[in-house]
Structure 1
Amino acid sequence: MKDNIQNNTIQGVFWSFFERFGQQGIQILIAVILARLLLPEQFGLIAMLAIFMAVAQSCVHSGFGSALIQKKDTTPVDECSVFYFNILVGFLVAGLLFLSAPWIAAFYRIPLLTPLARILSLNLIINAFGVVHTALLTKRIDFKAQMKVSVIAAVLSGSIGVAMAYRGYGVWSLVAQSIASNLFRTTLLWFFLPWRPSWIFSLGSLRSMFSFGSKLLFSGLLDTIYNNLYLVVIGKMFSATELGYYTRAEQTQQFPTANLSSTVGRVAFPVFSSMQEDKARLKRGTRKALSSLAMVNFPLMIGLAVVAKPLVLVLLTDKWLPCVPYLQLLCVVGILYPLHVINLDVLMAQGRSDLFFRVEIYKKATITAAICLTARWGIIALIYGQIATSVIDYYINSYYTGKLISYPASEQLKDFLPILSLASLMGFVVFLAGYLPLQNNLVLLFSQVSIGIIFYISLCSLAKIASFVEIRSIALDRYHSLRHRCDNC
């Protein structure tokens, strides 16, 4: 029983990760096409609104979606109460953003932001109708349905965005893509999940989840504000074009890390919650998840940093070259990010949203200090500040993991340091491969990536890294299962 739950954590994380390759591949393709058709300044305009949209979206989610996942025995009254509450908040927050749009435009001194913000506020209402559906699918660990929803929504909305960009609609093509993506996603959630709200509502039900959900709401608001604070600082102190370069670098770096972290959060939280009463078993599951994440994320980030220049030239063209140093430094920031997620999921699974909120306060204090110390020196200095805070925040995140399940940062470091060493050695080999006498950037990129993958897999196999052996076993089992199905067709 114990091993089954631990294995479910690993299988759930990585099966969900591989399932989402289709969705992420589509999003990458669309992002590349749009980056070729549009100007950095147009991406910068949307980035200026990111913090306002993200904060508003956090209010819409209100923490009750996570409360539904964490609560063991939810009732139809709980689900319907959260559903109607989210819709009410969605309309209220969207209205507030609509009215605040002129002040946002005045802050940046860009009048065009007023209509952009008002149209984008529709996303808040649309998303409110899908919060409970997403929570219920996550609680059931049904990621295949969510994958189908995301892929279909990405294809349809991406096609709309690319068509409009090709016809010269500029920044409005990004707005249309965003609205269409959320509209298709919410509609498909209702299609794939048969749950429908009844005409019932209970304040008592909301109150029973408020203690957990409210702390997550405030923590989420803090996290959202500070995750987007760099966009506000750069947008205010520098140009929209510079912000466009930064956001393109950040989004490129976040494709692998956000995908991996999202998968981990969706799987680890419900699985960890199911074993919250057995801390020894939770520690074993956490250790397996953390080691496996490190084995995937470390080489991804180090490799991406090394091949950043040929990657940008091949995918985005030379007009985006100024984002290369930003991308390389942000990859250093992204190395530890999925490990933050694992440690925070332990707190949530234990129902300690109070500690979760306290951790967020500490972390935000370090970010504020870093911004104040580095902003005057430029964007590169700001990113160096992010690197420093990433390391500090990891120790803050892991502090309570050590207290709750006796898995402190020092023990975690012992688990992932060998993997970091192998990934660093792989990065050095890929760096040397960059000096191959190849004139074509596509050929050079392909060569570096191929050498890196083969070398890293060989190193992990020779070193007999436990997480690698387990993931390889899971992948082979999945391959043989699929092959058996095909043979029987």
Structure 2
Amino acid sequence: MDNQLIKNLSWEASSKIIVQLMSLGNALVMTKLLTPEDYGIFGVLLTVFMVFSILQDLSLNEAYIQFGKPSEKLLNTVFWSLGFLGIVFFVLFNLLSFIFGIFNLIEYHVHYYIFLSFLLILAGFGRGVRMYAIVQSNFKAIAISDGLSIVISLPIGILMAYNGLGVYSLIIQFILKYSLQHFILWFKLKWLPRFIFDFQEIQNLRKFSTQRTLQKVSDHVFDNFDVIVLQYIHPVSTVGSYVKAKSFANQGSSTFSQLFQQVIFRYSSSKEEFEKRNIYYLLLLICILTLPLAIFFNFYGAQLFTYLFSSRWSFSGELFSLLSIIIFLQPLIFNLETTLNGLNKVKEVLLANFFTKVLIVLGMISLFFISINRFILIYLTSKLIQLLILCMLFYKIDLTNEK
């Protein structure tokens, strides 16, 4: 690997490890202070919110990074587009959540949704700043902003949970974490965008952004719709146990999924510098790091949960021991998708997702007739199939004629 790539990987990996370790410590403390019911409510709330969060940028920031060598005019146009979309989705989120609440399509808690909705506006402009930092390969600034935001937000959430504020402590902690990331990064970059907007400039990004947005939304909906389905079948305490088990499994997988995400996307977008062997090395490293953890938690996850959080979380521990296989599968899937998207193979990734999501849909339907444990086995099978398809897609890529 070249020195610049190693330097960028080092900054991103070190920041992600620190952030995830702190997040894990926070999760351990918050689980002791809160109840399965709190996590059940927050899990449903966050599932709905994240659909809007994914949609709001229309993947324009990723399309800009992937575009190659875009102009200053395009940079500013995308920045103001992201800010405008944040305001639009702020309004839509409040309106639709109110309507869904009236018809009992979701469990409606007006204050929770209002609090979260303001993050859409902040994220709109913040993603533009983060996009600029990635294009400039300023991963040091990103690492500092991510680290400081979590150092400030986590103690505040823990203090609120300790004082019995329940779901509010989770919401405020979530808002502070992501809003501070944007503010600190903007302060570090000292970048002032120019007020330039040319709609024609973003037409070249439309194809990539549309396909990428469809991919992200389908991923999120199919990976989290089980929480929405469960709330119609089981009491909120059971939903909360499942949410917490899945949260710990996802936190473990995201630690390794996101270690190199931004660097890999930037690297694979620069086709003249791209070498497949570097990705093979990274995937091998991820396997070495994740497989032992997944095996350990599969055998001892249930006992660990009961030991750390008391017997009221025992069912959550059983589910976590099954879901822990995701710690191995998901980072490989995520980094292969990131690489393929950077190589502008979004359509192929989208098609791969479509076929593997069929099993997840069947699993969600079967939740009405089978246990949660059996649904998890169907879910893991679909992830394994998705990984195999992505491996074949990446293996067949030949960029010799594109460089």
Verify: 1:282 aligned to 2:275, yes or no: yes
User: Is residue 69 of structure 1 aligned with residue 69 of structure 2?
Assistant: no
**Deviation at residue 15 of structure 1 after TM alignment:** 5.3
Report what 2:152 is aligned to.
Answer: 156
Contact 1:130/1:186 (<8 A) preserved: yes
Q: Is the 8 A contact 1:374 1:385 kept in 2?
A: no
Query: Do residues 400 (structure 1) and 380 (structure 2) align?
Result: no
The corresponding residue for 1:465 is none
Q: Structure 1 residues 367 and 10, CA, compared in 2 at 3 Å: closer, same or farther?
A: farther
CA distance in 1, matches of 2:40, 2:161: 15
Is 2:185 aligned against 1:192? no
Deviates more, 1:87-96 or 1:114-123: 114-123
Q: Could you tell me how far apart the structure 1 residues matched to 2:138 and 2:307 are?
A: 36
Find the aligned partners of 2:56 and 2:363 in 1 and give their Cα distance: 29
> Residues of 2 paired with 1:299 and 1:8: CA distance?
30
Query: Within 1, Cα distance between the matches of 2:136 and 2:49?
Result: 29
Q: Which letter maps to 1:346?
A: T
Alignment of 1:230 with 2:222, yes or no, is no
Tell me if the contact between 1:371 and 1:385 (Cα under 8 Å) persists in the aligned partners: no
Aligned to 1:359: 352
Task: Give CA-to-partner distance per residue, 1:314-345, whole Å, 9 cap, x none.
Answer: 43333222111111111123321111123223
**Structure 2: distance between partners of 1:108 and 1:17:** 43
State how far apart, in whole Å, the 1-side matches of 2:266 and 2:286 are.
17
The corresponding residue for 1:386 is 379
Contact 1:104-1:114 at 8 Å conserved across structures = no
Determine which structure has more spread, i.e. the larger CA radius of gyration. 1
- How far apart, in 2, do the equivalents of 1:256 and 1:144 lie? 23
Q: Distance in 1 between matches of 2:323 and 2:139?
A: 29
Map 1:39-438 to 2 at 5 A: 39-105=35-101, 113-274=109-270, 276-277=271-272, 282-405=275-398
CA distance in 2, matches of 1:107, 1:324: 34
- Structure 1 pair 296/107, CA: closer, same or farther in 2 (3 Å)? farther
Q: Which amino acid aligns with 1:323?
A: S
Contact kept? 1:59, 1:89, Cα under 8 Å: no
| One-letter amino acid of the counterpart of residue 235, structure 1 | Q
Normalised by the length of structure 1, the TM-score is 0.76
Aligned counterparts of 2:118 and 2:371: Cα–Cα separation in 1: 34
What CA distance in whole angstroms lies between the structure 2 residues aligned with 1:15 and 1:157? Answer: 22
Q: Does the CA-based 8 Å contact 2:98-2:108 persist in structure 1?
A: no
CA contact (8 A) 1:235 1:243 kept: yes
Alpha-carbon offset, residue 55 of structure 1 = 1.0
Aligned to 1:435: none
Is 2:29 the partner of 1:33?
yes
RMSD: 2.3
Q: 1:176 to 1:346 in 2, by over 3 A?
A: closer
Whichever residue aligns with residue 56 of structure 1, its letter is: F
Show CA shifts across 1:394-447 (max 9, x none).
1222232132149xxxxxxxxxxxxxxxxxxxxxxxxxxxxxxxxxxxxxxxxx
What fraction of aligned residue pairs are identical, expressed as a percent?
A: 22
Q: CA deviation at 1:375?
A: 4.3
5+ long unaligned stretches in structure 2: none
Question: CA 1:179 to 1:15, structure 2 compared with 1: closer, same or farther past 3 Å?
Answer: closer
Cα–Cα, structure 1 residues 139 and 310, in superposed 2: closer, same or farther, change >3 Å?
Answer: farther
CA apart distance, 1:10: 6.1
Q: CA 1:362–1:112 in structure 2 vs 1: closer, same or farther (change >3 Å)?
A: closer
Matched positions, count: 399
Higher mean C-alpha deviation, range 372-381 or range 386-395? 372-381
Give the C-alpha shift of residue 118 in structure 1.
2.5
Are the equivalent residues in 1 in contact too, given 2:16–2:258 (CA < 8 A)? Answer: no
Deviating more after overlay: 332-341 vs 54-63:
332-341
User: What is the CA–CA distance in structure 2 between the aligned matches of 1:111 and 1:70, rounded to whole Å?
Assistant: 39
Q: Tell me, what secondary structure is at the counterpart of 1:238?
A: coil
* SS of match in other structure, 1:237: coil
Task: Identify the structure with bigger relative contact order (alpha carbons < 8 Å, sequence gap 6+).
Answer: 2
**SS state of the match for residue 190, structure 2?**
coil
